[in-house]
Chain A
Amino acid sequence: MTDVATHAATSPRFKDNAKSALADADLQNALKFVEVNFIARRREAAERLPEFDALRDSARDIKDHTLAHLDLYLEAYENRVVERGGHVHYAVTGEDARQIILDICRKLGARTVTKGKSMVAEEIGLNDFLAAQGITPIETDLGEYIIQLRHEMPSHIIAPAVHLTKAQIESDFRRVHAHLPAGRNLVEPTSLLTEARAVLREKFLAADVGITGANFLVAETGSSVIITNEGNGDLTQTLPKAHIVLASIEKLVPTLEDLSQLLRVLARSATGQDMSVYTTLSTGPRRPDDPDGPGEYHVVLLDNGRSSMLAGEFRDMLRCIRCGACMNHCPIYHAVGGHAYGWVYPGPMGAVLTPSLIGIDKAGHLPNASTFCGRCEEVCPVRIPLPRMMRSWREREFEQHLSPATVRSGLAFWGFFAKRPWLYGVATALAARLLALAGRTRGRFSWLPLASGWTRHRDFPAPQGGTFQAQWNRQRGRLARPVGQADGPNL
């Protein structure tokens, strides 16, 4: 499986993570904003554009077409980059990508690198690696900068510091920006932003190399596309001697028209903006008569397991454009936040992607962290069937004997009856009668054998009347009687 050496995943401890998240008052306060703001803003943006759903179909089709021809689009893209004087490096694993980036930095004698927000860089643990090699990485997206100060992972793919409150950020700034007057006022978010802007401005101007991710790579022109609201990605890639783009191979789109389709759904799904503030297409290094721009332009194309994902039932996941809508609409994410998922990608998209990248043995809890309410699929701009894929992971987990023994024996027990409908009917009717009898005084149970997982947190209601099956049969019996001229559909 892929290497995660420098970025230890705590996904195997999801249950403990979730428990502490639920008890964390600061986190619970911060998470309220996600549920309230993101959902409403996305809905309003979608409603303002009558073609929004048609554009989602279009976006899905573009991604499907590109993935089905990925080898050819990679070649076309690479040719264009090289024509414009850029360099393309293929990296099979995260470790390969880190080494390629290190080599470029070393050749340029780089001591500091600025970084635009990149989930792929988080995936390969780039910051820790560079720091260990004596190169100082500086995150420049405000949210990423804040979590870098705290040595944390992002808790959301588009709002990395969404789990933090203003007061927490203030105390981090006071701790790290120790050269600034202690008595300064940092109460308002504006003053925090102003301080970060000033501190980072110096870093932008001093950096030797700038590293960004890419939201898209355009095969037609050999361009990498970054999208930001702050403008940090642009300063990162414009000012230093070299610009390194770190992007995974599924970021390809064929043409500028295809890019236009995807741009129309991305910002609306992510932040509810019609467009993010800065969408920048970069193609090659500084041209002969350019007064600014990087002297070198490198693209590191990371595979890290994605080419294998193309083969199986998780190919659809490679359509993901990392908008974050699925987590913004996820009741589990609202309850526990992003860190509980234990690795770089949280929420429903993480529940599907993480097992593919670090293995179902480590990430088995994630596809189970779902209520199957289906809202993620409803809002996904590229219509990824996230619930179906979470179910597939659960099946694999079961087949590989990774689910806990209690779950397995429980399911086997249930399966025995389910395969024998007559016996199932008798057994459930008997169980319902017994439970109704036992619970007739209180109407509920606060403890039941074998159901402590449920009753520890809430009461179990005593059955009222017959089983569902029995009621269903009665109901059907009534409906099946001829009622004159039936004009309904044949059942």
Chain B
Amino acid sequence: MTPRELVLATVRRSLGVTGAEATRRSEVAARLAGHPPGVVPERGQLEPAGRLDLFARMVKAAAGTVERVADMAEIPAAVAAFLRGHNLPLAIRHGGDPLLSSAPWKLAGTLEIRQGASDGADLAAVSHAFAAVAETGTLVLTSGADNPTTLNFLPDVHIVVVDACDVVSDFESAMARLRSRFGAGVMPRAVNMITGPSRSADIEQTLILGAHGPRKLHVIVVGKP
């Protein structure tokens, strides 16, 4: 027996099954295909404006910051203002994301733009979130050339742009969007769900921001829902 066969055989012996039972198989297949929701909290079930407010509140509760802008044209100025406000060099890195690439960065004057994955030398990165969850103030980012995963973790400051229409009530809604974008059962290499900046409480349970990931997380919500 291979180790695989041995483990599966012991599991089956313990459960008193053979693995061939049609009812068990159909039950599992149905759950995987139907993915029934469980208990979904009331908290996020709000009309669009209330949902955005909840999202902003929860991001702040997780020690992140939030601002809102009317459209993409305002992004460069907002990014530059945030960097200046924190005495950071006017330089960012972002991926090939169409929305970020088409932003009028020139409007921000001397802002230096680098593109692609991070090698750890960047102080600030800008990403475009796939979605955001109001329930907990969580950003959902997907890997790939558009928004490289390294940008989420290596820079000191992470600025995340999210479209107001992509702020959903709860995790279940975010999962449904992933499914409809990538296909049932299919996922991008990495889905990063991010709630606030990196932190550690490993030294005498004192909470300190900026453990291994970004010390600051700034969210820019674009447009109206």
Contact = CB atoms under 8 A, between A and B. Distances in A.
Contacts of B62: 273-275, 277
Contacts of B213: 230-231, 234-235, 277-278
Interface in B176-221: 178-179, 185-206, 208, 210-214
Ranked 4 nearest A-B pairs via Cβ: A231-B213, A230-B211, A311-B14, A143-B202
Contacts of B76: none
Contact of A258 (B38, B170, B194, B211): B38
Given A193-B211, A234-B149, A234-B192, A69 B42 contact: no
A193 B192 contact: no
Contacts of A142: 200, 202-203, 211
Nearest to B171: A260
A257 B38 contact: yes
A48 B59 CA distance: 16
Interface in A209-267: 219-223, 229-232, 234-235, 238-239, 249, 254-261, 263-264
A166 B203 CA distance: 6
B212 A197 contact: yes
A391 to B, nearest CB: 22
A220 B191 CA distance: 15
B8 interface: yes
Contact of A74 (B8, B27, B137, B212): B8
Interface stretch (B17-25, B83-91, B104-112): B17-25
Interface in B1-30: 2-4, 6-8, 10-15, 17, 19, 24-25, 27-28
Interface string A297-330: 0000101000111110000000000000000000
Contacts of A257: 35-38, 172, 175
A249 B11 contact: yes
B27 A141 contact: no
7 contacts: A50-B42, A89-B3, A221-B187, A234-B152, A257-B35, A260-B172, A282-B190
A189 B11 contact: no
Interface in B147-164: 148-150, 152-154
B117 A291 contact: yes
B103 interface: no
Contacts of B27: 69
A289 B31 CA distance: 32
A16 interface: no
Contacts of B25: 72
Interface of A: 30, 33-34, 37, 49-51, 54-55, 58, 62, 65, 68-76, 80, 84, 89-92, 96, 140-143, 146, 159-162, 165-166, 169, 189-190, 192-193, 197, 200-201, 204-205, 219-223, 229-232, 234-235, 238-239, 249, 254-261, 263-264, 271, 273-287, 289-293, 301, 303, 307-311
A160 B144 contact: no
A69 B32 CA distance: 12
Contact of A160 (B15, B143, B202): B202
Nearest to B179: A256
Given A159-B202, A232-B212, A254 B31 contact: yes
Contact of B4 (A72, A84, A90, A274): A90
Given A254-B28, A289-B144, A303-B7, A260 B38 contact: yes
A165 B204 contact: yes
Interface size, B (range): 35 or more
Given A235-B153, A277-B195, A308 B10 contact: yes
B194 to A, nearest CB: 6
Contacts of B136: 274-275
B48 interface: no
Nearest to A289: B145
Contacts of A165: 204
A162 B202 CA distance: 7
Given A70-B15, A310-B14, A33 B152 contact: no
B3 A96 contact: yes
Given A51-B42, A159-B201, A301 B7 contact: yes
Contacts of A310: 11, 14-15
A283 B38 contact: no
